[in-house]
């Protein structure tokens, strides 16, 4: 493995971006500050970011997995804008090695990434393009979805293939935990942000009741007690936490890539954001 590794997995949500007054999610916000301080102390030289997309960058066709050799922030809902500093040669070589290992990789050469990447990057790392990053997209939104165990295998392969780097590498997973935003429950693709907002506002009250704290807390215990056991998580295991919980595939990949003991930094179900908000980090 690389000379130094760190793993941080964190929830993202448009609700937090819209809550500009900071009225809700105080415990989670404190957890973000804690995790960001840990990242700053680690001082990563490269971020390998496993993220999802909300049917913005990838509408048709939708790859199962994509490695970016160039990317920018889409700026949706107030998320990050500007260019990501992607080390294109390293990213392209990684994609090639993953193909050699029978992962069907799409290469994205100039992709606009939404808040599934930008929000967590800004919260944990800083403004674009502070630290070089290789964005690795995993389809978590548009069925059919890959097995959670496949995300584990992908992450482990990424960690192994980047082990030659003599750098401090931060592996990030962004998404989850339990939530069911109406715009993802819907099978409609190609919605504008205005249409998404209207759909989500109409279904917000019902979505608040779909947070599943017992599922979230059980997953966080599993991550802390047996991170390698995430390889055996199934789609049926995730289903009780809602369609948004499919994003835990990014957590699974990051944890497998880092291959380190994990601990919970914070957990708070935030009804106003319709999401079980959590952060886990390597110990």
The residue behind tokens 């209207």 is: 198
Question: What whole-number distance in Å separates Cα of residue 256 and Cα of residue 275?
Answer: 24
Please name the residues in contact with 37: beta carbons below 8 A apart, sequence gap of 6 or more.
Answer: none
Other Cβ atoms within 10 Å of 233 Cβ, number? 19
Spatial strand order in the sheet of 81-83: 81-83, 71-74, 111-113
Q: Is 115 a catalytic residue?
A: yes
Side-chain-side CA neighbours of 142 within 13 Å: the count stands at 20
Question: What whole-number distance in Å separates Cα of residue 15 and Cα of residue 251?
Answer: 20
Please name the residues in contact with 30: beta carbons below 8 A apart, sequence gap of 6 or more.
Answer: 266
- From the candidates 26, 54, 115, 232, give the one annotated as an active-site residue: 115
Question: What whole-number distance in Å separates Cα of residue 10 and Cα of residue 174?
Answer: 5
- From the candidates 12, 26, 54, 179, give the one annotated as an active-site residue: 179
The residue behind tokens 């019902």 is: 206
Task: State the catalytic residues.
Answer: 115, 179
């Amino acid at each position: 493995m690389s000379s130094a590794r760190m793993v941080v997995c964190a929830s993202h949500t448009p609700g937090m971006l819209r809550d500009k007054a900071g009225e809700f999610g105080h415990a989670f916000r404190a957890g973000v500050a804690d995790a960001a301080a840990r990242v700053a102390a680690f001082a990563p030289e490269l971020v390998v970011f496993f993220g999802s997309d909300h049917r913005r960058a990838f509408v048709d066709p939708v790859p199962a997995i994509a490695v970016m050799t160039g990317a920018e922030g889409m700026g949706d809902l107030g998320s990050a804008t500007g260019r990501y500093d992607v080390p294109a040669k390293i990213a392209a070589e990684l994609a090639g090695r993953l193909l050699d290992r029978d992962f069907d990789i799409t290469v994205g050469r100039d992709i606009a990434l939404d808040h599934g990447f930008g929000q967590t990057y800004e919260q944990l790392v800083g403004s674009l393009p502070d630290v070089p990053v290789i964005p690795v997209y995993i389809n978590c939104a548009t069925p059919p979805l890959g097995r959670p165990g496949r995300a584990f295998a992908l992450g482990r392969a990424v960690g192994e293939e980047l082990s030659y780097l003599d750098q401090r590498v931060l592996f990030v997973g962004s998404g989850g935990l339990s939530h069911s935003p109406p715009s993802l429950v819907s099978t409609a693709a190609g919605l504008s942000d205005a249409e998404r907002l209207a759909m989500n506002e109409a279904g917000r009250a019902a979505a608040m009741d779909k947070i599943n704290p017992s599922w979230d807390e059980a997953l966080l215990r599993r991550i802390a007690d047996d991170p390698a056991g995430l390889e055996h998580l199934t789609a049926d295991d995730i289903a009780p936490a809602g369609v948004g919980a499919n994003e835990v595939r990014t957590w699974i990949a990051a944890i497998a890539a880092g291959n380190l003991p994990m601990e919970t930094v914070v957990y708070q179900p935030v009804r106003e954001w319709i999401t079980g908000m959590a952060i886990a980090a390597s110990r």
